[in-house]
């Protein structure tokens, strides 16, 4: 067999499949069915070393290891993952959400303004003074709600704050989904020639995301962390 050097690149696309039958965001998926395709992400695969003590294997969250000392692939982290509706459904559960009251606060520049919903409570200000309900009207033709300022003064400054029931809210909670399968398509080099390479992780478990970072120009990307299950049996590299 010829000797050659294989190197992995950083241009990665990831196919995420359901490893078992499951339901996500109200949709049923069968084992082996693609869930989403992630383009242009970056990835890191971490390993751990465990040691047996007095002939007894050290327990880990991946099971028991019986060798005196063994290193195994433990976790894969996908960065720069586009925040799509599919990805959002891994962290938010709209089916468990109840109706909550939301509050809207905005300036008024015209006499008639469309509201997000029929308000449960409303406060209208003119030049900082609270108007009484005889100085404005609220109507709800069809599904929309409208606020109309009586005797609107173009030179005045108006503000409105109102609460309303919002059924678009979702619950932020861990979903505890069963196993996924990841297929990483990577541009690399074999014997100094560009090569398509594939890493297959047959069984991974999504680790719940517990932090939200509100950073400039980064709100459309998230990080996905997966624990690798039985890495010595389920991880393959094709070069």
pLDDT in tens, 152-210: 999 999 999 999 887 666 666 656 677 999 999 988 766 677 778 888 999 999 887 65
Give the range among 36-50, 106-120, 131-145, 204-218 with minimum mean pLDDT: 204-218
Whether pLDDT at 23 is above 60: yes
What's the CA dihedral at 135, 141, 146, 147 to 10 degrees? Answer: 0
**Full set of structural domains in the chain with CATH:** 6-95+172-238 (2.30.110), 100-166 (no CATH)
SS3 sequence of the chain: CCCCCEECCCCEEEEEEECCCEEECCEEECCCCEEEEEEEEEEEEEEEEEECECCECCEECCEECCCCEEEEEEEEEEEEEECCHHHHCCCEEHHHCCCEEEEEEEEECCCEEEECCCCCEEEEEECCEECCHHHEEEECCCCCEEEEECCCCCCCCEEEEEEEEECCCCEECCCCCCCEEEEEEEEEEECCEEEEEEEEEEEEEEECCCCCCCCCCCCCEEEEEEEECCHHHHEEEEC
Could you report the per-residue pLDDT of 165-181, keeping only the tens digit for each?
876 666 666 566 779 99
Model pLDDT for residues 69-111, shown as the tens digit of each residue: 556 678 899 988 888 888 888 877 655 555 677 889 999 999 9
Between residues 141 and 24, the one the model is more confident about: 24
């Amino acid at each position: 067999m010829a000797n050659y050097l294989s190197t992995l690149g950083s241009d990665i696309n990831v196919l995420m499949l359901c490893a078992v039958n499951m339901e996500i965001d109200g949709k049923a998926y069968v084992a082996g069915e693609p869930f989403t395709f992630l383009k242009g992400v970056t990835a890191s695969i971490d390993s751990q070393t465990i040691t047996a003590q007095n002939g007894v294997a050290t327990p880990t969250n991946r099971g028991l290891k019986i060798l005196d000392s063994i290193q195994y692939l433990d976790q894969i982290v996908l960065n720069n993952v586009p925040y799509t509706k599919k990805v959002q459904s891994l962290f938010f559960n709209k089916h468990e959400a109840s109706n909550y009251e939301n509050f809207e606060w905005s300036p008024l520049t015209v006499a008639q303004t469309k509201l997000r919903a029929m308000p449960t409570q409303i406060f209208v200000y003119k030049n900082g003074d609270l108007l009484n309900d005889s100085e404005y009207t609220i109507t709800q033709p069809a599904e929309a709600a409208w606020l109309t300022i009586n005797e609107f003064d173009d030179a005045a400054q108006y503000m409105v704050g109102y609460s309303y029931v919002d059924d678009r809210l979702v619950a932020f909670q861990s979903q505890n989904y069963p196993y996924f399968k990841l297929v990483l398509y990577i541009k690399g080099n074999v014997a100094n020639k560009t090569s398509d390479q594939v890493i297959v992780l047959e069984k991974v478990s999504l680790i719940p995301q517990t932090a939200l970072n509100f950073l400039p120009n980064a709100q459309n990307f998230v990080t996905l962390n997966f624990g690798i299950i039985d890495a010595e049996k389920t991880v393959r590299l094709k070069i």
